[in-house]
Structure 1
Amino acid sequence: MGKILVLNTVFEQLQCAVIESGKLVELFFEENEKLAGNIYLGRLDRAVNALEAVFVNIGESKNGFLRMKDISKAYQDFFKLKKLTPKLKLLVQVKKDPTGSKGAQLTTNISLAGRYVVIFPFSNTKGVSKKIIDEDERERLYNLANTYSEKYKLGIVLRTASEGVDETHIEDEIITLVETWESILSTFKRARKPRLLYSEKSAADYIFKEKLSRDVELIITNLPEHVQIISRYIKGYPKRPKIEIIDGDTFQYAGIYEKSKELFRRRVNLPSGGEIIIDRTEALTVIDVNSKHFVSGENQQETAFRTNLEAAEEICRQLRLRNIGGIIIIDFIDMTSQEAKEAVLNKMKEETTKDKSKIEILGFTKLGLLELTRKRTIRSFDELTGVKCPSCKGYGFVPSPKIIIRELFDKLSEKPENVKEVIIKLHPSLKEYISRKDVKKAVNMEVHIHFTHYNPASFEITWKK
């Protein structure tokens, strides 16, 4: 079985997994907040000239961040904006979900996406998805985009799903999107307070619009109502996917829980014995490739090349699966052959075509590191499912046992007056680094040591009179 879409409804929350050639490549969780694509009535809160941006109250917990360059001339002309002043009413769309302490990134370049089409009310953009390769089909679709752009006076881009679709279906969707836009604009003009004006109809609609491509062969779901929604999104498809409805947990049924365990690991094994190591920082993601146990090549360079090819495929899968965005640096095993480097680069380009997010591969640096960027609008898997470690605060390390013990004895030297005993709680990993005898000698009183403290980077001292 080629591509499989697994939908799992648990406690009225929808989850989705995409499997390609038996491998898990994407995950989506409805219960995690998604703001990207939402359109809001916002009120300008303050301008920060040093950042060339303004902060906009959109009615969410944090103000959105709108860069000056994301306020288009067409938008300013449409709303007759001459000056950005506090409390100014703005129509904005979330370009990127909030991350960490940062609020949502906003834009005034409003777009509305359907299954086949994206419309741009403040632009005259016309285009066709780069993933449609057939030149005759590209020309047909571009002509349609040009015709409808002139007819409806807005920008139009035909999506990958529009390939082979009759123009009647395409125009019907454009009409629906235009009606939606007119409704949004009408509400914006009437309303006064910051509020949400538009979001996806439902999580199921979002999933089928974005994930249900022509190469999906099987859809597994535990909600019969999904069949009707699926039917709306496969109109014009020459071959319909098989739909399997089961009673129970589809993630359990399809082995998604087992497959997803790797997401919590820093190291990912490669089929031939090599591995990749994924480290994320605030600004970028660094991926290291190691041959590890893979030594079956004829020589070191052959081993490096074969490991790097496997790593290229796995790295592209992990970027999709973990939804890693921003700057990505890959340290492949050193290759002296320019031909080998080109082959690995081509493998990366081939694998990134499977990813719906925009990826730009910048090439190898003078140090032999591969640079690329990946656009991400919603939060990564790490941000959605994890929190910073309370012990290391996200640093990845805690002080060594010797340093902790030294700090403990420093604190013990500050003992209060008129105390007769002390109770010390330490992490179990510190057992072999301390003895009751040494502590008793230092404080000259009754000592109780319990290795029950949760944090290996700290301790707890209680004095008793």
Structure 2
Amino acid sequence: MVEPLSQEVLVNVTPQETRVAVVENGVLQEVHIERTRSRGIVGNIYKGRVSRVLPGMDAAFVDIGLERAAFLHASDVCRGRPELDPARSQPIAELLREGEELLVQVVKDPLGSKGARLTTQITVPSRYLVMVPCMGQVALSQRIEGEDERERLREVVTRLGEADGHCGYIVRTAAEGAEEAALAADMAFLRRLWAGIAERAEAARPGTLVHEDLPLALRILRDLLGDAVEKIRVDSRMTFRRMREFAERYVPELAGRLEYYPGERPVFELYGVEDELKRALERRVELKSGGYLIIDQTEAMTTIDVNTGAYVGHRNLEETIFKTNLEAAQAIARQLRLRNLGGIIIVDFIDMEVEEHRTQVLQALERALARDRARTHISEISRLGLVEMTRKRTRESLARQLCEPCPTCEGRGTVKTVETVCYEIFREIIREARQFEARSFLVLAAPQVVDRMLDEESAGVAELEAFIGREVRFQAESSYTQEQYDVVLM
């Protein structure tokens, strides 16, 4: 029996950042973070100028006023223009030219060394609808399942939108069951909003922001919340008032669920969110059975390794492996949402001999991912127990939002041993002794390296001094990392 879904949303606000936690049935599932100095730009609309057309990549770079030029692929160029032939896929050189000005929208934030990803198919969302000015037709969310309701919504939106000409609409999941008057009000709001955007775009210079998406606290009311939400707790009185005003105007069914939290104990601490965030930055994820996951995020992909750990089961090895993999499937789905991991994901389940077990684990993973708003695609389990899957990525992962590469290992995850550093120092002294005239050498290094030189490697130091005919002295520097050293000529 499937446990009914109960959601609470926690909003923590400081002058520097806003954090939103989605808690389902008492368990943290999602975290969204928006910092004042580095707000995401997905959804923002810019007046851009094509800086370079790349026929070999079937794409173009567009200057929208950011540090790095943004990327626009030919498939993201709106073919709704009358002069373009929609019957065939046209190369980028026929769609755009260098220096051309165009209106673009960000669909992916800059990630790592990559610039933002753009589209010219502008979308303007509201509570029930998304206006797509160059689409010219009505589309419906796949999550609206009832055929009668789908037909009703399509007929209503098509009729209401007849006056908009080439403008199209996408009917959002939240529109299911919505009355015609609410849909008409939504459409009128979108028309006014788009008219203002078009007017500003006409007067704007290339490289300027034309329309900025809502801040996170209001965006969650528009995009993230559904009928399962029982309570939205906000710990900032000012933000609470803004959210209530927004809800009363656009999502009145949520206004009564908003609640100001005045408690002295931080709301994230009250629900255990801070501890969960710390655990979400670790490689190892413990399973209740005693098994565990190891999650490694790289530039190319994310790998997840499943291990039985301390779990020994009660019947036989195959049953132990099967139960561990089933539990891991639930945990993996949660970790993908919590850590916001996207792109290519490889899951290394423990090898299972029974075909039925492999099928059940895959089905368990699919069911667990059904609540994920990000689009996912899962392949079959290979002979090695590997599952290849993809998850749509539109913003940085939690780890990349909150962390940076270690300055000591520079993201490698390992450092050279003390012994290795000592032998590097020996080679460096010999090299410099052959190149330069010096009375002696002073080595500045980390305390643990100096301790090794004066203890285990003392015989080697004596041999080195005899070989080069000069004295070698050592000085410990507490601020040096284990791999860092300097050889000074005296």
TM-score normalised according to structure 2 size: 0.87
Who is 2:39 aligned against? 33
Q: CA offset at residue 328 of structure 1?
A: 0.9
CA distance in 1, matches of 2:377, 2:335: 16
Q: CA offset at residue 229 of structure 1?
A: 3.0
CA distance in 2, matches of 1:384, 1:459: 32
Indicate if the aligned counterparts of 1:453 and 1:460 stay in contact, CA closer than 8 A.
no
Q: CA offset at residue 434 of structure 1?
A: 5.9
| Deviations 1:374-415 (CA, angstroms, capped at 9, x unpaired) | 111111112211212223322223333332221111112224
Q: CA offset at residue 19 of structure 1?
A: 1.1
State whether structure 2 residue 344 is matched by structure 1 residue 340: no
Who is 1:179 aligned against? 192
Query: What is the aligned counterpart of 2:21 among 17, 20, 23?
Result: 17
CA distance in 2, matches of 1:316, 1:169: 35
Pair 1:181–1:233, CA change in 2 (3 A): closer
Report 1:323-402 matches (<5 A). 323-402=340-419
CA distance in 2, matches of 1:451, 1:301: 54
Query: What is the aligned counterpart of 2:154 among 113, 131, 142?
Result: 142
Query: What is the aligned counterpart of 2:126 among 85, 106, 114?
Result: 114
CA distance in 2, matches of 1:276, 1:111: 39
CA distance in 1, matches of 2:81, 2:414: 49
CA distance in 2, matches of 1:114, 1:440: 77
| Deviations 1:216-252 (CA, angstroms, capped at 9, x unpaired) | 1121111231333343454246x95362422453223
| Deviations 1:233-277 (CA, angstroms, capped at 9, x unpaired) | 54246x953624224532233322112111220110111111111
Q: CA offset at residue 196 of structure 1?
A: 0.7
SS in 1 for 2:19: strand
1:5 aligned partner, one-letter code: V
Who is 1:64 aligned against? 70
CA distance in 2, matches of 1:332, 1:246: 45
- Structure 1 residue runs of 5 or longer lacking an equivalent are none
CA distance in 2, matches of 1:37, 1:298: 53
Query: What is the aligned counterpart of 1:424 among 444, 448, 459?
Result: 444
Pair 1:146–1:457, CA change in 2 (3 A): farther
Query: What is the aligned counterpart of 2:246 among 210, 222, 229?
Result: 229
Pair 1:57–1:242, CA change in 2 (3 A): closer
| Deviations 1:318-363 (CA, angstroms, capped at 9, x unpaired) | 1111111111111111112222122112211211121111111222
SS in 2 for 1:264: coil
CA distance in 2, matches of 1:430, 1:290: 40
> Please, which moves more after superposition, 338-347 or 69-78?
69-78
Who is 1:95 aligned against? 107
Q: CA offset at residue 155 of structure 1?
A: 2.1
Indicate if the aligned counterparts of 1:345 and 1:363 stay in contact, CA closer than 8 A.
yes
Query: What is the aligned counterpart of 2:202 among 159, 183, 189?
Result: 189
SS in 2 for 1:379: coil
TM-score normalised according to structure 1 size: 0.92
Who is 2:12 aligned against? 8
CA distance in 2, matches of 1:204, 1:280: 28
Query: What is the aligned counterpart of 1:51 among 57, 64, 73?
Result: 57
Query: What is the aligned counterpart of 1:160 among 173, 179, 183?
Result: 173
State whether structure 2 residue 268 is matched by structure 1 residue 251: yes
- Structure 2 residue runs of 5 or longer lacking an equivalent are 85-92
Indicate if the aligned counterparts of 2:443 and 2:485 stay in contact, CA closer than 8 A.
no
Indicate if the aligned counterparts of 1:75 and 1:108 stay in contact, CA closer than 8 A.
no
Pair 1:433–1:161, CA change in 2 (3 A): farther
Indicate if the aligned counterparts of 2:445 and 2:486 stay in contact, CA closer than 8 A.
yes
SS in 2 for 1:94: strand
Q: Give aligned pairs, total.
A: 461
> Please, which moves more after superposition, 43-52 or 441-450?
441-450
Who is 2:326 aligned against? 309
Indicate if the aligned counterparts of 2:453 and 2:461 stay in contact, CA closer than 8 A.
no
State whether structure 2 residue 241 is matched by structure 1 residue 241: no
> Please, which moves more after superposition, 126-135 or 203-212?
126-135
1:128 aligned partner, one-letter code: L
Report 1:241-320 matches (<5 A). 241=257, 243-248=259-264, 249-320=266-337
Pair 1:146–1:365, CA change in 2 (3 A): farther
Indicate if the aligned counterparts of 1:9 and 1:223 stay in contact, CA closer than 8 A.
yes
Indicate if the aligned counterparts of 2:236 and 2:260 stay in contact, CA closer than 8 A.
no
SS in 1 for 2:280: helix
Q: CA offset at residue 452 of structure 1?
A: 2.0
> Please, which moves more after superposition, 40-49 or 202-211?
202-211
SS in 2 for 1:30: strand
Task: State percent identity of aligned pairs.
Answer: 33
Who is 1:458 aligned against? 484
CA distance in 2, matches of 1:441, 1:2: 72
Pair 1:375–1:158, CA change in 2 (3 A): same
Indicate if the aligned counterparts of 2:105 and 2:120 stay in contact, CA closer than 8 A.
yes
1:176 aligned partner, one-letter code: F
CA RMSD of aligned residues (A): 2.5
CA distance in 1, matches of 2:196, 2:258: 36
Pair 1:265–1:418, CA change in 2 (3 A): same
Runs of 4+ in 1 over 4 A off after TM superposition: 429-434
Q: CA offset at residue 440 of structure 1?
A: 5.1
| Deviations 1:50-101 (CA, angstroms, capped at 9, x unpaired) | 21111000011111011122112214749xx966322210111111111111
Report 1:66-85 matches (<5 A). 66-75=72-81, 77=83, 84-85=96-97
1:104 aligned partner, one-letter code: A
CA distance in 1, matches of 2:209, 2:252: 31
Pair 1:150–1:294, CA change in 2 (3 A): farther
CA distance in 2, matches of 1:151, 1:453: 70
